[in-house]
Each structure stands twice: as structure tokens, then as C-alpha cells.
Structure 1
């Protein structure tokens, strides 16, 4: 697979040039971006998947929901519908996507919407809301956001930054110059000064935005009804079921907490069906002794209850936890919103 990706390097060069030219056309004003008089905060990344956009969106919801009327807007990746849709507690992942469904279940009073055209989505939402959070819209250049948060996975900054398909970057590194804040996610808790210096050396060539460092905090195990449960996991053999971009951090978290782990991985945003149930059930039955299935919070919303009801499935929620600079991050967001509201009043 690695050899094939390097064979495709000429396609990566064409992809790089295409994205670079597109960005230049927007930056120069030849292609037009639309601004709005409502505060809009974009959460995005340059690489594909797995940087922690959902935990960041949830962090912002917790930070802002007591002060502002919020809405989240995303494409609704993996859904089988099109156009603008509001998420309901009765919605399915097929209707709105797994991440919006996760937001709605976790924050029932929050307005959660999906739309491929973010400008259209903002137009619909702006009359009833004070702030709109746009999940995964960094490359949606038709919209000119008021504030942009760019996420980098810690590991990605210590590898070659090559565009697709040879590398994992869907945008050029120079695009980081548009960010108002940069957050390095999934960092080791004992982040060294040398690691920070290496990261900042790379980023400072393109961006002067403040850099904050965060990691993933794993919450208590929950059942399919989202109720916390307590197990002595050390006596359980685990089938680790994932359909996310990078399941490795979850595996590493569980390794020393369980008797054994058998992995069953699917593609990111995979829509599970009955054929998958047979595969999952077979893998589960081959485990010996005390056994349960552990999955992710995103996956639990795509595992149809009626098909998987007979299996003991649990999930582990995650949260973003700042290692350093939480106050800097919060202050930058709150200052932007305070200033935006002041300007809009006039």
C-alpha cells in the first residue's frame, strides 16, 4: 500500500497545484467569498480525518452555550440525504451523519444542522442564532468566516506533509496562514520543550497565530443508551470495533486495562449493515471467557439498535483537554465574539 501511494506521487503534485491555485484565486479576490454579519467560527484541519474536530466543537459548545444562542453546521458526512436538514433526537446517522447526531444526543437543546452549502446553511440559521460553529469547513472557501481554528494532529507534524493521495494532506501547508488560532491535538501529556520548539518552527514559517496544545481525555464507559457503567475491564476480552480515521489512540488507551484486544476496523464513517453484523458477531463469538464489544461514540450512532441489540456493545466518549494555554484559547474566542457583537450593533 505504501509503495502504491508513492507511485501516485505525480497525482499528488497535480492535486497540490490545483488546491494552491484555487486558494490563490480566493486570496486574490478573483473567486469571491461571502461574509456574514453573524459571528461564524470555523473548526478545520489540513489533513484528512482524525484531528479531533468533534471534541473541539463540543468544547466550544460547553464554553459558549450559557452565553449565546448557538448552532452547529456541518456537511453531514456519510448521510444519505441532501440539502439543509435540522437534526432531531429521532434522526439517524443516515439522515444527518454520525457527528451531527452525536452533537444532538449530547446537547439536546443545541441547534444542529447539516448542509453541503455552508453559505446557504448560515443564511437559514442566522436569524435565530447569535453564533454559528462550522465543523470541518476550512476548505469551504465560498464562506469567509469571522474566526478560524485550525487543528493539527500531533503526529502529523513529525511526518512529511504531502498532499493526497501519496500523503494525508487535503490542503497545502501554506493554508495555515488563514488561521486565527492553531491547536495541536492528541499530544502526549508530557510534551517536551524540544517537541514544542520543533512544532513551532514548522508552523511559524507560515502562520503567526497563537498555538495551543491539547490531548484526548477518555470518559467513563457507557452503554448503548448513553448511561455510564462500571466494569473491571481487566477480566474482559475486548472486541474493539471502530469505523473512524485513526483508532490507534483508543487501542493504546485500552491495552493495559483489559485482558486482551481483538480489533475489527472499518472505514471512517462506515454505515453498518446486516453483513457487517454477521462479521462482527462471528468475531465476537471467537473470543473466549468474559467478553464485550467496545466502540467509539461516533460508531455507536451508526450501529442500528435492532440489528445489534443482542450484542453487549459499549462505547467510550472522548473530550478535548488542553495541556497548556486553555486561558489563551478561551480569551481569544470570547474576545472575538465580544468584538463581533459590538461591531454588529453599530
Structure 2
């Protein structure tokens, strides 16, 4: 089980982290005192965020909620659209690219074409634009992706994720650690989910984590683990269908990962082949000429007939429309989708909690 000793901290940055903490504390107090105005909206607004900078699994958890709610409600997802090349409010279309809306929103739009996916760094403006749609298009539920620190919006429900391998209560503020705000910020959460849990956890381990968090009575705690699906061709018209069972132990796999925590992806690929070569990049990395040259040099040295390139879903979103991608790679380029499962048989409890929340908010809005 993780401890404070397992988290690597950059102690040289302690003074900067101290000053950063003062700034975050002061900003939060301005909201608490009402000097900075927050806004509520007349629809369920569910925020999926975290206390730390990246790597907790927000996208697969947001996608889980989309799968749960979209058969029942008109769902919209509003994201910042990190590293997109556009500004302001953008509503995605089937023709949108990752450059226009960001890699994670692009991934969600590709998987859920009937769900409205929009991006706007100004979440209040983004929500207003969504609610200004004609009635038949106006969303019943809005999911805010990575907006826990965006306090200009008051969510009806805040879901905060924390990585089992880097639990927030052991971490420190940026740049000493990875926290965006002090661990005490967890008090604003309605639901806390410990993500990426090990299969080897025992009931006592879950109880210890729950005790360490010291959550309030109204806060609900869940635990999830990552589940990898079957590999998919990024270009189905070019590459042949392939399953994990088709990969031989001596087939060479070149792994490309531009995500915050690539170690789980690398470990999973090791289950398929004994010859895995990983090239990692920073989170949300944009693949340029230098990267393509590096990848080509490594891939050309691989000699097995069954060699392939395997990427994450998020990297697939950035590579699909990349003009620098060599055509000859398209028949050997695959991605590995991920989903999440709830531990301790708590999936139904989470689902019912979410549905009950939406019903309650909708009734309250009608009665006003």
C-alpha cells in the first residue's frame, strides 16, 4: 500500500511551493468570502476533477458517466480543451480535430458522436452557451471535465479523483509535489474516487485509506481500477483487425505514450510481448518532425514480422489527423482503449447515487 515515502518530492522547490500555497489559499478565500463571484445553473452540473496535476484518470471516469447517463438524458460535456489551437467557445462536430478541441474532448466525441462536446476555458460562458440552445438540443445534464479548481462555477455535484499510487493526502503542493491546491480542498468534494487501485488490495486496505482521508459524513467514497480492452486499429481501412491473443511473445511492440502516468500502459503491454520498447513524452504531447524521426529510427530497427506500434487512446486522438504521420505506419498502428470498474461491488451504488442526484436537482429546479 502506498505511503508518504513512495512519493517523489522535489524538495528544492519547497520555498516556491510555500508561496504558491499562499496564493491558492488567498484565491479560495476570495471565493469563500464572496469577493469573487461563483454562479449556479438550473441544471445538474457534475464536475469530474482532482486536486493534483494530471494522471488520475479523469477521461475514463467521465466516459463511464457518459455511458451511464446518455441513454437517459441529453448529456453535454464541457472541457477546457487543453492545448487546442482555437479560442473561446467551440462546439464540436463530426469534422472537428484534436487541434480544434483538444485531444481528450476529441476522443470523447469520437466515441460518443451523439453527445454534445464543447470546449471553453471560461466555464460559465460555456455553460450559458449550452443552455442557450433550442429546447430540443439543450442539455439535461452537463459534465465539467477537469474543473474542480474553476470556482466561478458551483457544480451541483463534485467528483474528485485521487490516484491510489499517489494519494492526495501524501502529496504536496506544486512544484514540490503535484497538488494544485492543499489537501484540505477535498472538503469541497461530494464524491471521492480512489482510482487505479491494485487487484491485490484487501478489505483492510480500503478501510485504512478511508480512515486516512477523514471525510465528512455527507461525502461518499468509491474505489476503481483500470481495465484495458481489446486493441483497435487507428486506421481500420488500412490495418487488419487484431486481438491481444494474436500477438506473439516474440512480436516487437513500439509503445508511444504522451500521458501523465505511462507506467500502467507499459506494464499492460508487457503482458502481450516480451519485446516492448517504450518511448514516453510529456502529457498532451504534440508529435512533431523530431518525434517522428525518433520513432522511425527505433521502429526501423525492429525486425520481427509481427511488429506494431501501440499508443494510448489520448495519443491516438493526436496522431489520427497528424500530417507528419507516415502512410506506411497506418497498417501497423493500434491503440489500447481503457475503461474503469468499481471495486467492492459498488458500481450499482455509484450509479444510483448519480441518478438520484440528477432527479433531485431537476425536481428542485422545476419547483422554483
The answer to whether the superposition gives a TM-score over 0.5 is: yes
Would you say the 8 A contact 1:160–1:167 is kept in 2? no
Q: CA deviation at 1:141?
A: 0.5
Alignment of 1:181-260 (within 5 A): 181-204=191-214, 208-225=218-235, 229-230=242-243, 231-260=246-275
* Rounded Cα–Cα distance in structure 2 between residues aligned with 1:111 and 1:275: 35
- Runs (5+) with no aligned partner, structure 1: none
Would you say the 8 A contact 1:177–1:207 is kept in 2? no
Q: Deviations over 1:196-241 (max 9, x none)?
A: 1221122115675111110011010000136952222423111110
Residue 359 (structure 2) pairs with residue 343 (structure 1): no
Would you say the 8 A contact 1:150–1:176 is kept in 2? yes
1:72 is aligned to 77
* Rounded Cα–Cα distance in structure 2 between residues aligned with 1:174 and 1:191: 26
Compute the TM-score of the two structures, normalised by the length of structure 1: 0.95
Relative to 1, partners in 2 of residues 1:120 and 1:270: Cα closer, same or farther, differing over 3 Å?
same
1:298 is aligned to 314
Alignment of 1:1-346 (within 5 A): 5-127=10-132, 128-157=138-167, 160-204=170-214, 208-225=218-235, 229-230=242-243, 231-289=246-304, 290-303=306-319, 304=321, 306-308=323-325, 309-311=327-329, 312-324=332-344, 325-346=346-367
Relative to 1, partners in 2 of residues 1:288 and 1:228: Cα closer, same or farther, differing over 3 Å?
closer
Q: CA deviation at 1:159?
A: 7.4
Q: CA deviation at 1:326?
A: 1.2
Q: CA deviation at 1:158?
A: 8.0
* Rounded Cα–Cα distance in structure 1 between residues aligned with 2:50 and 2:363: 29
* Rounded Cα–Cα distance in structure 1 between residues aligned with 2:114 and 2:280: 33
Q: CA deviation at 1:256?
A: 2.8
* Rounded Cα–Cα distance in structure 1 between residues aligned with 2:337 and 2:261: 15
Compute the TM-score of the two structures, normalised by the length of structure 2: 0.89
Q: Deviations over 1:253-283 (max 9, x none)?
A: 1213212111111110011122211111111
Would you say the 8 A contact 2:52–2:168 is kept in 1? no
* Rounded Cα–Cα distance in structure 2 between residues aligned with 1:84 and 1:233: 46
Moved more, 161-170 or 320-329: 320-329
CA RMSD of aligned residues (A): 1.9
Would you say the 8 A contact 2:254–2:277 is kept in 1? yes
- Runs (5+) with no aligned partner, structure 2: 1-6, 133-137
Q: Deviations over 1:128-150 (max 9, x none)?
A: 11110000000000111111101
Q: Secondary structure at the match of 2:273?
A: coil
* Rounded Cα–Cα distance in structure 2 between residues aligned with 1:240 and 1:84: 34
* Rounded Cα–Cα distance in structure 1 between residues aligned with 2:9 and 2:189: 33
Q: Secondary structure at the match of 1:116?
A: coil
Q: CA deviation at 1:194?
A: 3.1
* Rounded Cα–Cα distance in structure 2 between residues aligned with 1:228 and 1:123: 43
